[in-house]
C-alpha cells in the first residue's frame, strides 16, 4: 500500500532522512525506534505529506501505486484521513481547547465524507464505543480540559479512525501518559489494527512499548535506517552495535543495583550524544560513538547486510564476516 523508495528529506546540507526504503502492507504493525534527532518523526510527517516546505525531497513515495512524492496539497488532502491518519504525542495540545469534543470529532466526517450532522454524530458515538470511551453521549458535549490524558488520547485515536484510514501513524502516543494508562493505549492500538485490518506505524523511543505493540521494527539513527527485522528477533539478538548499545543502556529492573559484595553495578552506556544533523560523521552515522571501529567506518557509508532472510543491518562488521 505504502511504499518509500530511497526517500530523502534534507535541509541545506543537513539530511534529516536519508534514502529510507519501506514497504507497508495491510495489517502490518511496524515500530520505528530511535532517539531524538534520529529522523523518526520526519519519516512520519513524510508519510502524511507534511514535510516542511523548506525541505528538499528526493526518492519516491507511492501510496496505492500513485506517486505522491511531489503531490500537491490538494491531492494530499484527499489522501489524508481516508488512507492515512496520525495521532500525536501530546493529547493536551492536539485538541482545540475552545471546541466541544463532538464538534471536533464530526468535522472530518462532514468535510471528507459529506455526512449530515446527525449521521456524523451516530458515527462518532460508534467510534467512541470502539475505542473504549465510557458514556460517549456525555463526552460529546465536553471540552478537552474536562477529560483525563488517557481519555484525550482515546478521543484522538477515535478522531484518526473517523474516516477508516488504511494506515494509522502513532507518533510517541504513550510518552506523555502514565505507565498503566500507556499499557491500555498500546493494547487498544493493537486490537484496533487487528479488528480493522489496518496498518499501524508506531513511533517511539520506548523499547518496552514497541515490544508489546509491533510485529516488525526499524531502528533509526542520524536519519538512517540502520537495522530492521521482526521485533522479537531484533530485540532478542540485535545485530547493529547501536541497537545493542541502546538495549543495554535501558535499565533492567530484574538486576539489583549492587552485586553480592555491595559494590554498585554501573549501567552500560553509549559514549557521547547524538550529534546535530549537520555535524554527523561522513561515513557510518554511528562512527565515533561505536564500540567497534573498523578503518572504513569513518569514511564509507555501510550498506544493508542480511542477518537472516528477513533481517538486515547497515554495519561494516556484517559485511566483513563471511
Partner 1 sequence: MTAPLLDARNLTRRYRLPRTSLLHPAPVLTAVDNTSFTISAGETLGVVGESGSGKSTIARMVMAFETPDAGEVLFQGQNLHALSPYELRLQRQKFQMVFQDPFGSLDPRRTVGWSIAEPMRAIGADGDTARRTAEALEQVGLPARDADKYPHEFSGGQRQRIAIARAIVTRPALLVADEAVSALDVSVQAQILNLLMDLQDDLGLGILFISHDLAVVASICDQILVMQHGKPLESGPAAQVLRSPAHAYTQTLLKAAGVST
Residues in contact with partner 1, counted by CB under 8 A, come to a total of: 33
Classify residue 238 by burial, with Cβ atoms within 10 Å: 0-12, 13-18, 19+. buried
- Would you count residue 292 as binding partner 1 (CB under 8 A)? no
User: Which position has the grid cell 523508495?
Assistant: 5
Q: What is the DSSP track for 239-283?
A: -SHHHHHHHHHS--TTS-SB-TTSPBPPPP--SS-PPPGGG--SS
Of 288 and 319, nearer to partner 1 (C-beta) is 288
The correct pick among 97, 253, 295, 322 for binding partner 1 (CB under 8 A) is 253
Residue among 19, 1, 2 nearest 10 (CA): 19
- Would you count residue 13 as binding partner 1 (CB under 8 A)? no
Phi/psi at 138 (nearest 5 deg)? -70, -35
Of 165 and 223, nearer to partner 1 (C-beta) is 223
- Would you count residue 261 as binding partner 1 (CB under 8 A)? no
Of 74 and 264, nearer to partner 1 (C-beta) is 264
- Would you count residue 251 as binding partner 1 (CB under 8 A)? yes
According to DSSP, the residues that pair with 17 across neighbouring strands are 9
Of 36 and 261, nearer to partner 1 (C-beta) is 36
Determine how β-strand 224-230 pairs with β-strand 216-221: antiparallel
Give the shortest CB-204-to-partner 1 separation in angstroms.
11
- Would you count residue 291 as binding partner 1 (CB under 8 A)? no
The correct pick among 146, 252, 259, 308 for binding partner 1 (CB under 8 A) is 252
Give the shortest CB-244-to-partner 1 separation in angstroms.
11
Of 145 and 266, nearer to partner 1 (C-beta) is 266
Using the rule CB under 8 A, give the single segment among 42-50, 52-60, 92-100, 175-183 that binds partner 1: 175-183
- Would you count residue 266 as binding partner 1 (CB under 8 A)? yes
The correct pick among 246, 280, 284, 314 for binding partner 1 (CB under 8 A) is 246
Residue among 216, 212, 182, 222 nearest 201 (CA): 216
Residue among 96, 165, 161 nearest 126 (CA): 161
Strand (E) or helix (H) holding 221: strand 216-221
Half-sphere exposure of 215 (CA within 13 A, CB side): 12
Task: Calculate the CA dihedral of residues 225, 45, 273, 292 and round it to 10 degrees.
Answer: 0
Using the rule CB under 8 A, give the single segment among 79-87, 190-198, 223-231, 257-265 that binds partner 1: 257-265
Q: CA 274 to CA 270: how far, in whole Å?
A: 10
- Would you count residue 211 as binding partner 1 (CB under 8 A)? yes
Binding site for partner 1 (CB under 8 A): 35-36, 178-183, 205, 207-208, 211, 245-246, 249-258, 264-270, 273-274
Amino acid at each position: 500500500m505504502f511504499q518509500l523508495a530511497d526517500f530523502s528529506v534534507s535541509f541545506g546540507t543537513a539530511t534529516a532522512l536519508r534514502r529510507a526504503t519501506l514497504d507497508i502492507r495491510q495489517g502490518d504493525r511496524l515500530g520505528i525506534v530511535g532517539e531524538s534527532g534520529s529522523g523518526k518523526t520526519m519519516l512520519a510527517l513524510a508519510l502524511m505529506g507534511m514535510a516542511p516546505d523548506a525541505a528538499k525531497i528526493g526518492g519516491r513515495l507511492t501510496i496505492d501505486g500513485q506517486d505522491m512524492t511531489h503531490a500537491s496539497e490538494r491531492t494530499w488532502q484527499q489522501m489524508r484521513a481516508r488512507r492515512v491518519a496520525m495521532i500525536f504525542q501530546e493529547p493536551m495540545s492536539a485538541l482545540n481547547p475552545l471546541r466541544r469534543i463532538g464538534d471536533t470529532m464530526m468535522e472530518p466526517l462532514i468535510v471528507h465524507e459529506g455526512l449530515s450532522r446527525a449521521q456524523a454524530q451516530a458515527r462518532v458515538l460508534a467510534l467512541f464505543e470502539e475505542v473504549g470511551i465510557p458514556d460517549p453521549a456525555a463526552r460529546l458535549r465536553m471540552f478537552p480540559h474536562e477529560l483525563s490524558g488517557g481519555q484525550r488520547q482515546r478521543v484522538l485515536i477515535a478522531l484518526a479512525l473517523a474516516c477508516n484510514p488504511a494506515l494509522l501513524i502513532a507518533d510517541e502516543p504513550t510518552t506523555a501518559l502514565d505507565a498503566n494508562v500507556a499499557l491500555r493505549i498500546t493494547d487498544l492500538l493493537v486490537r484496533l489494527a487487528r479488528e480493522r485490518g489496518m496498518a499501524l506505524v508506531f513511533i517511539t523511543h520506548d523499547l518496552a512499548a514497541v515490544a508489546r505493540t509491533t510485529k516488525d521494527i526499524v531502528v533509526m539513527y542520524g536519519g538512517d535506517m540502520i537495522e530492521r527485522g521482526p521485533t522479537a528477533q531484533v530485540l532478542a539478538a540485535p545485530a547493529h552495535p547501536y541497537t545493542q548499545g541502546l538495549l543495554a543502556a535501558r535499565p533492567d529492573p530484574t538486576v539489583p543495583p549492587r552485586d553480592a559484595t555491595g559494590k554498585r553495578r554501573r549501567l552500560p552506556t553509549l559514549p557521547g550524544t547524538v550529534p546535530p544533523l549537520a555535524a554527523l560523521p561522513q561515513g557510518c552515522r554511528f562512527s565515533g560513538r561505536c564500540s567497534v571501529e573498523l578503518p572504513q567506518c569513518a569514511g564509507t557509508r555501510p550498506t544493508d547486510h542480511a542477518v537472516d532472510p528477513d533481517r538486515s543491518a547497515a554495519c561494516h562488521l556484517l559485511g566483513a564476516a563471511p
